């Protein structure tokens, strides 16, 4: 079981790399996550030691396959929950996004699959991003 904090780091690293097509620097990740660069460096060393990322000082952070798997699962959960909250419950997108961030860490894989079936397996989240990442 991975902590919420670790899932948040992996999620942010994945999204940055996907968008920018390069490793994320610790200062960039600190700005994204609204934490001090020293906190990112400390977490990067831990995640590197845990085999979830490849961290090279002054070069940046890349995900290893195990870290990417966790990031994709977390993002998928977020997007399914966000879809449910906006499209089924009618909540506004900004509020739904905040709620999805909280719920994604607590919901089980079994529950998320049932929820995904319940909402008729949409292909995209309210932001237009694919729910199932490849």
- Sequence length of the chain is 134
Predicted TM-score (pTM) of this structure:
0.92
Place of tokens 């845990």: 50
Domains parsed from the chain with CATH numbers: 4-68 (1.10.10.10), 72-118 (1.10.60.10)
Q: With bands split at pLDDT 50, 70 and 90, how would you rate the model's confidence at 1?
A: confident
Q: What is the pLDDT of residue 76?
A: 97
Q: Where residue 133 falls among pLDDT bands split at 50, 70, 90?
A: confident
pLDDT tens for residues 16-72? 999 999 999 999 999 999 999 999 999 999 999 999 999 998 899 999 999 999 999
SS3 (DSSP) at 92: coil
d(CA 84, CA 61): 32
Tokens 């739904």 sit at which residue? 96
pLDDT for the residue 43: 96
pLDDT value, residue 16: 97
DSSP-H helix ranges across 50-129: 65-83, 93-103, 109-118
> Could you tell me which of 31, 104, 35, 29 has the C-alpha nearest to residue 62?
29
Residue keyed to tokens 């699962």: 73
25: DSSP letter? P
pLDDT in tens, 65-103: 999 999 999 999 999 999 999 999 999 999 999 999 999
Provide CB contacts within 8 A for 86, sequence distance 6+: 92, 93, 96, 126
117 pLDDT exceeds 80?
Answer: yes
């Amino acid at each position: 079981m991975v902590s919420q904090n670790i899932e948040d780091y992996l999620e942010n690293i994945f999204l940055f790399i996907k968008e920018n097509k390069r490793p994320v620097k610790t200062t960039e990740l600190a700005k994204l996550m609204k934490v001090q660069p020293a906190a990112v460096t400390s977490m990067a060393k831990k995640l590197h030691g845990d085999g979830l990322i490849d961290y090279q000082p002054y070069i940046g952070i890349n995900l290893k396959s195990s870290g990417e798997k966790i990031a994709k699962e977390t993002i998928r959960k977020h997007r399914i929950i966000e879809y449910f909250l906006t499209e089924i419950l009618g909540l506004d997108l900004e509020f739904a996004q905040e709620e999805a961030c909280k719920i994604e860490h607590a919901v089980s894989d079994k529950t998320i699959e049932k929820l995904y079936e319940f909402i008729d397996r949409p292909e995209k989240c309210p932001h237009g991003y694919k729910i199932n990442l490849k």
